[in-house]
Amino acid sequence: MRANGVVCSDALRLDVSDPLGVHVRAVAPLHDGDLVATIPRGACLTPRTTGAAAAIEAAELGGCLALAVAVMYERARGADSPWDAYLQMLPDRESVPLVWPTDEAECLLAGTELDKIVKQDREFLCEDWTECVEPLISSGELDVDLDDFSLEKYFSAKTLVSSRSFQIDSYHGFGMVPLADLFNHKTDCEHVHFTSASDASGSDDDEDDQSDASADDQSTIENPSTSPSGSRANNEDLEMIIVRDVSEGEEVYNTYGTMGNAALLHRYGFTELDNKYDIVNIDLALVTQWCTSKFSSRHTRARVSLWRNLGYSGCTSQDSEYFEIAYDGEPQLELLVLLYIINLKPDVYDRLICVAHDFVGDEEHDTLSNVVKFVEALSSNQNSEVNGLEKLPDEKKLLLSGSICSALLSLADMREGLFGSNTLEDDEEKLQACSITSERKLYHSLVLRVSERRILHRLRKFASSGSKTKKRKHP
Ligand SMILES: C[S@@+](CC[C@H](N)C(=O)[O-])C[C@H]1O[C@@H](n2cnc3c(N)ncnc32)[C@H](O)[C@@H]1O
């Protein structure tokens, strides 16, 4: 296999028999360390290598937006494009939720981590198109037809960029890499790595690209050595190297990173059953909603404020703040601390706010240790608990009082309520009956729903076991 200077080992074969997409297979056994492909950087389609490079630079387009414009431009050039043969091999678009019919996406993703994100992506991409793409084409600088750069074509190009681009190096930024993008993904079991002999890949373009539908965990080329970001091109070829033995006939997998199902579906349009990197999030807004249903709004505001003054916060993205629940159902420590503070008795809370500032330590667990010790010392049942606190073997266990566990159970119910009125078992049955080939969108959205609901189930188990093993009256 040779094209545009791309060289690929004869030991690899492209299997195109699957309607769901191509697979790369080994024709002969491959061994750890084998070099299976070299790809000149100039063969990659990037904002620097495209014929539209000057216009893209003049318009100051960056990151994935610039790459999507490059893809649309080279597609519009047809046979005149040096990437014509490569582009002809690509699907028109990847079936990621961004391009699912709006009603269908809304219905299939309801309650999942992608529910809000996909709606936001659409809004941001429409803004990008109106503010950047349309003016660039209307300026006439590229001498192309606006139809080739329509909003629909922009969305399609974005799906290819999200599912097939790599961050090449600091000079090229994101690019489409022929051949390297033929390998499918397998979590933690990949056979091949994409590497460059040198140069830094640390472009910060993606940080500027707020509208990127997939800025999470962008595929990056591994660099054994790194050098400071530069503005000149590195001419060394990119390489694909075997990192795990492959038997003859076996599919050769790459890895797109360690991603949960929401990220995989968002960016690539597929999911994996039992993906240990799955998480489900609980928004801070849901916690405050629960809190105001039990206490007053004033109580809620004051307790969140104390939690913040102690140096805590949730994870943030776009305009939301949230807490992660891990695959095994364990909640993020910050959520437990917030629930702990919410549940403090008024007199304990009043004493704590006076000294909170002094309790903020360099390490998260120092702050927690200080707070818990202080609260325990004020509590009537201090004897049995204070001794155990000296070593702080596990901060999370310390926080699992009956009231916090019951708060977690309520939050699990509220989060589950976002999925609608059917049950996890209903979704599991639907998934069993669903075809991955003919009902692809339904299948992957059900895997996502089931994965997230199983985590909530494990959160309930976590909370129930916590409240059983630790019958404490405090706080
Ligand atoms: C970089 S391309 C890989 C090559 C691709 N199979 C093709 O047909 O050209 C990424 C796309 O391949 C598909 N894909 C990759 N890994 C997959 C997997 N483990 N299960 C299902 N689809 C996968 C998804 O459609 C994804 O968007």
pLDDT tens across 29-49, in order? Answer: 999 999 999 999 999 999 999
Cα dihedral 255, 39, 206, 67 sign: negative
CB of 294 closer than 8 Å to CB of 306: no
Cβ of residue 182 lying under 6 Å from some atom of ligand 1: yes
What is the reported pLDDT for 360? Answer: 79
Lowest mean pLDDT among 46-55, 192-201, 266-275, 334-343: 192-201
Average pLDDT over every residue of 84-100: 96
Q: Which atom of ligand 1 is nearest to the CA of 21?
A: 8
What is the reported pLDDT for 219? Answer: 65
DSSP string for 248-274: TT-B-EE---S--HHHHHHHHS---TT
User: How many angstroms does the Cα of residue 185 sit away from the middle of ligand 1?
Assistant: 7
Q: Which atom of ligand 1 is nearest to the CA of 95?
A: 25
Evaluate if residue 385 carries a pLDDT over 80. no
Cβ of residue 268 lying under 6 Å from some atom of ligand 1: yes
Predicted TM-score (pTM) of this structure: 0.88
Evaluate if residue 15 carries a pLDDT over 70. yes
Question: pLDDT (tens digit, 9 = 90+) per residue, 350-382?
Answer: 988 988 888 776 676 778 878 887 887 777 554
User: How many angstroms does the Cα of residue 370 sit away from the middle of ligand 1?
Assistant: 49
* Distance (Å, whole) CA 436 – CA 438: 6
Cβ of residue 93 lying under 6 Å from some atom of ligand 1: no
* Distance (Å, whole) CA 472 – CA 475: 8
What is the reported pLDDT for 19? Answer: 84
Name the residue with higher pLDDT: 310 or 196: 310
**Entry field: residues in the chain:** 475
Cβ of residue 252 lying under 6 Å from some atom of ligand 1: no
Question: pLDDT (tens digit, 9 = 90+) per residue, 152-200?
Answer: 999 999 999 999 999 998 899 999 999 999 999 999 999 999 887 554 4
User: How many angstroms does the Cα of residue 15 sit away from the middle of ligand 1?
Assistant: 13
Cβ of residue 219 lying under 6 Å from some atom of ligand 1: no
Average pLDDT over every residue of 254-269: 96
User: How many angstroms does the Cα of residue 14 sit away from the middle of ligand 1?
Assistant: 13
Q: Which atom of ligand 1 is nearest to the CA of 22?
A: 8
Cβ of residue 359 lying under 6 Å from some atom of ligand 1: no
Cβ of residue 343 lying under 6 Å from some atom of ligand 1: no
Name the residue with higher pLDDT: 2 or 170: 170
To test the pocket of ligand 1, the residue of 174, 184, 272 to mutate (highest count of ligand atoms within 8 Å of its CB) is 184
DSSP string for 90-135: S-SS---GGGS-HHHHHHHHTTSTHHHHHHHHHHHHHHHIIIIIHH
Cis bond upstream, residue 475 (ω within 30): yes
Question: pLDDT (tens digit, 9 = 90+) per residue, 199-252?
Answer: 444 333 443 333 333 444 446 666 544 333 445 667 789 999 999 999 999 999
To test the pocket of ligand 1, the residue of 270, 277, 435 to mutate (highest count of ligand atoms within 8 Å of its CB) is 270
Q: Which atom of ligand 1 is nearest to the CA of 90?
A: 9
Mean confidence (pLDDT) of the chain = 87
Question: pLDDT (tens digit, 9 = 90+) per residue, 281-309?
Answer: 999 999 999 999 999 999 999 999 999 99
Q: Whose CA is nearest to atom 10 of ligand 1?
A: 163
Evaluate if residue 26 carries a pLDDT over 70. yes
Cβ of residue 269 lying under 6 Å from some atom of ligand 1: yes
The CATH class for the domain spanning 280-469 reads alpha beta
CATH number for region 2-268: 3.90.1410.10
Cβ of residue 86 lying under 6 Å from some atom of ligand 1: no
Average pLDDT over every residue of 387-399: 53
User: How many angstroms does the Cα of residue 23 sit away from the middle of ligand 1?
Assistant: 8
User: How many angstroms does the Cα of residue 57 sit away from the middle of ligand 1?
Assistant: 31
What is the reported pLDDT for 401? Answer: 84
What is the reported pLDDT for 42? Answer: 92
User: How many angstroms does the Cα of residue 21 sit away from the middle of ligand 1?
Assistant: 7
Within 10 angstroms of residue 148's Cβ, the number of other Cβ atoms is 15
What is the reported pLDDT for 221? Answer: 64
Question: pLDDT (tens digit, 9 = 90+) per residue, 101-124?
Answer: 999 999 999 999 999 999 999 999
Question: pLDDT (tens digit, 9 = 90+) per residue, 420-461?
Answer: 999 999 999 999 999 999 999 999 999 999 999 999 999 999
Q: Whose CA is nearest to atom 26 of ligand 1?
A: 268
Strand 238-242 relative to strand 192-196, pairing: antiparallel
Q: What is the dihedral of CA 350, 351, 352, 355, to 10 degrees?
A: 120
Question: How high is the ipTM of this complex?
Answer: 0.99
In the chain, where the domains are located = 2-268, 280-469
What is the reported pLDDT for 469? Answer: 58
Q: Whose CA is nearest to atom 19 of ligand 1?
A: 185
